Amino acid sequence: MLLIAGSRRNRLGEEGEEVLLDENYLHLIAQEPIYLWPHCKTFLREAVHCDTAFLASQSVIDYSLLVGICGDNVVVGIIDYIRKFTFDKKVEMIFKSNILGSAGKMPTIVSPEMYRERFCDAMDRYFPLIPDKWTGMGADLDCSKPS
């Protein structure tokens, strides 16, 4: 099982553990990427987008994507969605932003919208697309101009 949060800071599980974290996953996909067909990638992207939009609207942060792999089947689901972005988390974000910001790093605790954006971007990067015969079709078309 893989537990993916979209952050690479302090996200490396010990070798031999059943649950691996973001950095473990990045090492794994460097050698054995989990490619998705365009329709599967679209479905994953939409599901993650909708679920994280709901979580952000509820001020929820610190959730993860659980990835189960069995042969050619990949099963995913968002878990650990119980932490709210409360006043103490806001203070922690501001404090860490001031300390880490000078080093050019973002704190791990961020606002629900920033968490959502970081999470969605990571999910998009972590699951590369298998190009098919339709990939790129129409990319050069500008339908706003008459021919």
Q: What confidence tens digit (pLDDT) does each residue in 47-80 have?
A: 999 999 999 999 999 898 888 878 878 888 998 8
Q: What percent of the chain has pLDDT over 90?
A: 24
Residue 97 has pLDDT above 70, yes or no: yes
Domains along the sequence of the chain with CATH: 2-126 (3.30.810.10)
Are 28 and 20 contacting, i.e. CB atoms less than 8 angstroms apart? yes
pLDDT at residue number 98? 74
Are 5 and 22 contacting, i.e. CB atoms less than 8 angstroms apart? yes
Q: Select the highest-mean-pLDDT range: 3-7, 54-58, 79-83, 104-108.
A: 54-58
* 16 dihedral zone (left: phi>0; alpha: psi -120 to 50; beta): left
What phi and psi values does residue 70 have, to the nearest 5 degrees?
Answer: -140, 100
pLDDT at residue number 1? 59
Residue 146 has pLDDT above 70, yes or no: no
DSSP state of 18: S
User: Can you give the pTM of this predicted structure?
Assistant: 0.72
